Chain A
Amino acid sequence: MSETAYPAPPQTPFATSVRKSLFSSPLDCLVTVVCAVLLCLLLYHLVDWAFLSSIWTEEDEPLCKEASGACWSVIDARHRIIFFGLFPFEEHWRSTVACIVMIATIVASCVPWFWSGLKLSVLWITGFAIFYLLMHGGLFGLSVITPERWGGLALTIFIFAAVSLIGMPLSIVLALGRRSRLPVIARLVGLFIDFFRSLPLLTILFTAAVITPFLLPGWLQGDKLYRVIVGFAIFFAAYQAENIRAGLQAIPAGQDEAGKTLGLNYMQRVTRIQLPQAFRNSLPAIVNQFVITFKETSIVTIVGFFEILASGSAAFGTGKWTHHYIEVYVFIGLIYFIFVFSLSRYGAYLEKKLRVGHG
Chain B
Amino acid sequence: MTSILRSQKVREVFFQALVLSVVAALLVMMVVNTRASLEAQSLTTGFGFLERSTGWDFSFSVLPYSISDTYRKTILIGILNTLLLGFLGIFFATLIGIVIGLIRTSKNALFSMIGTVYVETFRNVPLILQALFWYAIVSHLPKPRAAYSLADTVFLSGRGLYFPVLNIALWSVALMLILFIGWLVFLPWLREKMQHSTGYYRVRNIGWLLLPLIMIGIGYFARIPETPLVDMPALKGLNFRGGMRMPPELSALIIAIALYGGAYIGEVVRAGLMSVPKGQIEAGFVNGLKPFHIFSRIRLPLAIRAVLPSLTNQYVQLMKATTIGIVIGFSDLFMIISTSINQSGQTLELLAILMGSFLVINLGIAFVMNTINRKMALKGYEVKG
Contacts and interface: CB of A to CB of B under 8 A. Distances in A.
Interface stretch (A81-89, A246-254, A269-277, A328-336): A328-336
B323 interface: yes
Nearest to B133: A329
Interface stretch (B32-40, B169-177, B190-198): B32-40
B359 A296 contact: no
B341 A336 contact: no
A240 B130 CA distance: 25
Given A32-B108, A32-B110, A200-B323, A182 B125 contact: no
Given A24-B107, A39-B113, 9 more contacts: A31-B106, A199-B359, A211-B341, A215-B34, A302-B324, A309-B129, A329-B132, A333-B129, A333-B130
19 contacts: A31-B111, A35-B110, A39-B110, A182-B12, A183-B16, A199-B359, A200-B323, A200-B334, A201-B320, A203-B323, A203-B334, A203-B358, A207-B351, A210-B338, A295-B124, A309-B128, A309-B129, A329-B133, A344-B123
Contacts of B324: 202, 299, 302
Chain B's interface size range is 35 or more
Nearest to B34: A214
Contacts, number: 133
B20 interface: yes
B338 A199 contact: no
Nearest to A330: B133
A337 interface: yes
A272 to B, nearest CB: 21
Nearest to A345: B120
Interface of B: 12, 15-16, 19-20, 23, 29-30, 33-34, 37-38, 106-111, 113-114, 120-121, 123-130, 132-133, 136-137, 320-321, 323-324, 326-327, 334, 338, 341, 347-348, 351, 354-355, 358-359, 362
Interface of A: 21-22, 24, 28, 31-32, 35-36, 38-39, 181-185, 188, 198-203, 206-207, 210-211, 213-217, 295-296, 298-299, 301-302, 309, 313, 325-326, 329, 332-333, 336-337, 340-341, 344
Given A182-B15, A340-B124, A198 B362 contact: yes
Contacts of B125: 295, 333, 336-337, 340
A199 B320 contact: yes
B129 A188 contact: no
Contacts of B323: 200, 202-203
B124 A214 contact: no
Contact of A182 (B16, B110, B120): B16
Contacts of A38: 114
Contacts of B108: 21-22, 28, 31-32, 35
A199 B358 contact: yes
A211 B323 CA distance: 17
A21 B109 CA distance: 5
A329 to B, nearest CB: 5
A22 B109 contact: yes
A298 B341 contact: no
Contacts of B12: 181-182
A304 B111 CA distance: 43
Interface centre among B109, B129, B137, B359 (most CB of A within 10 A): B129
B16 A185 contact: yes
B64 to A, nearest CB: 28
A53 B287 CA distance: 58
